[in-house]
Structures are given as structure tokens and as C-alpha cells.
Amino acid sequence: QVQLVEFGGGSVQTGGSLRLSCVSSSYISSGNFMGWFRQAPGKEREGVATIYTGSMSTLYADSVKGRFTISQDNAKNTMYLQMNSLKPEDTAMYYCAARVPPRGIYYTMNPSDYNYWGQGTQVTVSS
């Protein structure tokens, strides 16, 4: 069983930065996938970024490429999402998730492919 807890949400102005953290209750070995998702009011949950804990290769949604960076510190059981140049459209509840075991080595940002979720942390970007 994996428990995930997110930290670091808050309110910033357009152009600001935030760093989200996701702490796992247990060690997530290499060979699994972790991801960040977000959900705005009235919208479906969407994938933001995913990372393969083996090679640390990453995949980003087009809307955040060049602005967000996902990373994983296996020694600290912690995943991060560095968010720069934030825009009002980034406002959402942000969730971290894990695919453990991954049942296949492929990148996906389909929420239904992830079996562990955090409780979410709110990010609000004002104009």
C-alpha cells in the first residue's frame, strides 16, 4: 500500500513560481511511474507530467512544457513539481499519483492508469 501526501500549494500572481512536493509513505523502487495531475472546477482531471523512476525520463503536457519540471528523489521518497511562469489557467487542485506496479513500461497521463493518489493541494494563480 502506498500513501501519498502533497505539499506546497498556495496563491501566487501571474508569472510567479511554486514548488509542489509529494511524499510517499513507502519506498517507490525504480521501474515505476509517478505523475502530477490537476483538476479545475467543472473540468476533468488532466495529466500534467509523469516520470519513470527507473531512467528518470519525463513526459509533459503541452500546456506546461518549458514551464514545469517534474523530478523524483528516490532517497527521500519524494517527487517534485517545479512550476514557473504560472498563468491563471494553471489554477486547479493538483494531485500526485503513482502507478505501482506499472503493468507495462509506457508513459501515460490517463488518470485511470494510476492506482495510488494523494489528497490534492490547491494552486491559485491570480492575474
Tens of pLDDT, residue by residue over 70-109, are 999 988 999 999 999 999 999 999 999 999 888 888 889 9
Q: Residue 28 — very low, low, confident or very high, per pLDDT cuts 50/70/90? A: confident
Mean pLDDT of the chain: 94
Let me know: does 105 contact 52? Beta carbons within 8 Å. Answer: yes
pLDDT of residue 70: 98
Let me know: does 44 contact 52? Beta carbons within 8 Å. Answer: no
User: What is the distance of C-alpha 82 from the center of its chain?
Assistant: 10
Residue 12 bridge partners (DSSP): 125
Residues 6+ apart with CB under 8 A from 20: 6, 7, 8, 9, 36, 80, 81, 83, 94, 96, 121, 123
Residues 6+ apart with CB under 8 A from 42: none
Separation between Cα atoms, residue 80 and residue 73, nearest integer Å: 8
